[in-house]
Structure 1
Amino acid sequence: MNISYIFLALALLAEIIGTVGGFGSSVFFVPIGNFYFDFYSVLGLTAVFHLSSNLSKILLFRKGLNKQLIVRIGIPSVIMVIVGGYLSSLFEGYILEIILGCFLISLSSLFLIKKDFSIAPNIKESIIGGSLSGFSSGILGTGGAIRGLTMAAFNLEKSIFIATSAFIDFMVDLSRTVVYYQNGYIHDHDFIYIPFLFAIGIGGTYIGKKILNYIPQEQFKRISLILILLIGLVTIGKVILQ
């Protein structure tokens, strides 16, 4: 049984940081996974990994879901993740890696420079934010940060925010898992990692929840943004060197 335990340790770290930082684990998990698997396999593993982590978030932070946001943001996200998932098969893996690196650099730079950047809590912005988040999740494997930015405009109580975001993400991941499977991204030789990733998704979320009780999220968010920026640069650098 050929398993990379270093990869699993990094996946756990990605889940913890993603939970505490509020960006979701995929923003860390996808670029890390690219060092161990081809880009398409990473997309498949990410979808399965997220199903467990988001289900655990829903259970751990259950204090009610915001049904209005589930409709406004969730439905456009599900539609566009399907579109993005199918379009991903039209591009070479290295091209998607470059786009991912540029996306991570742009996203982290925006938040680091424009600390007070916000989106208006309107229906139009919610639909656009949900659509962009879903499309990015489908084609690049990560889009939770866009959805988080959109939802932040509504000033939800922390547990409601996390539970609602996780519920939307769960619908998104369920949809893209089907698309990725049809695209052939979920391979038989990757199935060995799925039980480990399910356990990591639950355990990492639990640890992240505990850390939130001791570390201010804003302080941790800045550290997360710097890490995302570095990961984006490393991702592009890896493709160039190869």
Structure 2
Amino acid sequence: MVFASFLALVAVIAGAVASLAGFGIGSLLTPLLAVKTGISVAVAAIGVAHFTGTALRFLLIRRSVNKKVLLSFGLTSAAGGLTGALLHNVVSNRLLGIVFGGLLILAGTAELTGLAGKIRIKGVFSWFSGALSGLFGGLVGNQGGIRSAALTGFNLGKDEFVATATGIALMVDVARLPVYLAAQWHELIPIWNMIAIASIGVIAGTLFGKRILERLSQDAFTKTVGIILVIIGALMVIRA
């Protein structure tokens, strides 16, 4: 009961963060659920909640999507996501935990130091970073930080950035979620209640996220997310 309540709370926060930044659902929820299920099952389970929240967010802000970026960077990202999902059960849980934790620490550090806002990736490297971010997204359920760093190279406005990042995340989800469900449905059925709690929480956070986060300054918000990512990442590495 205590864990379910905490999962619901974090799900609302994750949905709220994602509604403003375009990512954060997998980063916050996957390591939490992994405490109960292991990282491999958690990635697949949160994939359902991630798809639910991302699809809703896309419907709300789809008019701001940059279609050119969506069809170029997004396609390579979706292809990488499918590849990562196919390799999801091949890589050991220990390695997944280390990679996942390391990514969270790097993403959190980049947010805290301001490096995330200075990274510029252009040309062919944008296509490569799209594929790489999709690969990690399919493999460990976390690609938001890498995707956002890559998207800064396109000089998108704030609304375009969030909407396009959301559209790309949805493309990746469409590519990888069927693989997760086909490979691990027998492990997901026993935890359907946790999946439902996470999904409902993400929906609530997505709908009310901007209102909740408006009271935080951008600097305070960035540092808060960075600290959370570093802490969760460190715990994942230690656990692995």
Partner of 1:60: 60
Give runs of aligned pairs for residues 1-150 of structure 1, distance below 5 A.
4-113=4-113, 115=115, 116-120=117-121, 122-150=122-150
Partner of 1:217: 218
User: Residues 213, 201 of structure 1: CA spacing in aligned structure 2 closer, same or farther, 3 A cutoff?
Assistant: same
Conserved in 2, the CA contact under 8 Å of 1:137 and 1:143?
yes
Please say if 1:153 is aligned against 2:144. no
Where do 5+ consecutive residues of structure 2 fail to align? none
What TM-score does the superposition give when structure 2 sets the normalisation length? 0.88
Deviations 1:26-79 (A, max 9, x none): 111111111121222111112111111111211232433111111121100111
Q: CA deviation at 1:196?
A: 3.0
User: Residues 108, 213 of structure 1: CA spacing in aligned structure 2 closer, same or farther, 3 A cutoff?
Assistant: closer
Partner of 2:163: 163
Q: Which has the higher helix share?
A: 2
CA distance in 1, matches of 2:209, 2:163: 14
CA distance in 1, matches of 2:220, 2:7: 27
Cα-Cα RMSD:
2.3
Partner of 2:209: 208
Aligned length: 238
User: Residues 6, 15 of structure 1: CA spacing in aligned structure 2 closer, same or farther, 3 A cutoff?
Assistant: same
Percent of aligned positions with the same letter in both sequences? 26
Conserved in 1, the CA contact under 8 Å of 2:81 and 2:175?
yes
Conserved in 2, the CA contact under 8 Å of 1:33 and 1:42?
yes
Partner of 1:197: 198
Conserved in 2, the CA contact under 8 Å of 1:58 and 1:162?
no
User: Residues 204, 222 of structure 1: CA spacing in aligned structure 2 closer, same or farther, 3 A cutoff?
Assistant: same
Give runs of aligned pairs for residues 229-240 of structure 1, distance below 5 A.
229-239=230-240
CA distance in 2, matches of 1:221, 1:13: 14
Where do 5+ consecutive residues of structure 1 fail to align? none
SS at match of 1:214: coil
User: Residues 75, 12 of structure 1: CA spacing in aligned structure 2 closer, same or farther, 3 A cutoff?
Assistant: same
CA distance in 2, matches of 1:194, 1:102: 25
SS at match of 2:78: helix
Deviations 1:172-199 (A, max 9, x none): 1121111112322652112233433332
SS at match of 2:137: helix
